[in-house]
A and B are shown apart, each in its own frame.
Chain A
Amino acid sequence: MGKWTIPAPRKILVVGVADMAASNDPGAELVTYSLGSCLGITVYDPAKKIGGLFHVMLPDSRIDSVKAAGSPFMFMDTGLPRLFHATYNLGADRSRLIVKVAGGAQLLDERGVFNIGGRNFQALTDLIGRNGLVIHARDVGGMSSRTLRFDLGNGNVSIKSPGADAYLL
């Protein structure tokens, strides 16, 4: 490629809090902002360049199962299966899926009553383990919020906190 070649613009899709998106467009980037105690979970099939991103807020929909029915992506137990199925529907192969996770910040809390970040991560590892999958990379905990960018062209997940440089997970 010559020096003056202008790369095609990336398609950026922002995934809001308590939301999910999946795509098979290798030119797309999925982004989610201000992951605090929330978790950002990415799944990626490198052979087919299919991926999904889920920004989940709370561990367990049983706190309000009626309302949860209207917002399944608020909760890990109702949202995570939908993330996987969205990538299967696009043609992803379960055996190739790479799972990464970031977020789960914690307040300074001795008793852990406010530790939603920790409970979110526990709910994730339970579900992942029960389904015979593994988490390939994680950046969980700490006191900073994070922005997560997920490049569907190569599966790269980059994490950035305010006042710090971005890095690849």
Chain B
Amino acid sequence: MVVTHERRLSAGTRKIAVVVMYGAYAAAAGLWAGAGGLTSIPLAASVVALFALVFAALGILFRGTRYWKWGNAPDICLDEFQIASRNAAYKSAYVIVSVLALTALFAERILHDTTAWSIDDRARDLIFWGWFLLVLTLPAAILVWTEKPVDDDETDARL
């Protein structure tokens, strides 16, 4: 069976959802870690709202479209174009994750050696869960981002 990628969301909406998903997580993590914890009710409410945005965007992208399935389905469920696109997305995701991981490791090492700064447990947890989100969703998010719009199936089906 071939996985169909329904286009219930426009390309612009899908890209906004990707930006919101990663941006809201980064903002929530920055607020939480920057303030040294959830020290006030408005701050806690902001962080909770941002995490809710992350899950909402994730839900919109991967329940409202078939990109999650496309990005993770076995070959037998995809046609050759989908397999090629998925493989290209995984290649890009590998490069992005590798560059981010190496940059973070070097930055942490340099900061630690030059300023004696070290990452605290809260920041480590936030980075871990951010990494978890990124690694699990990036190939499908790249598919969301890079898929070129095609005319609606039936509008020009009988020219």
Q: Do A and B bind each other?
A: no
Q: Which residues of B are in contact with A by a Cβ distance under 8 Å?
A: none
Q: Which residues of A are in contact with B by a Cβ distance under 8 Å?
A: none
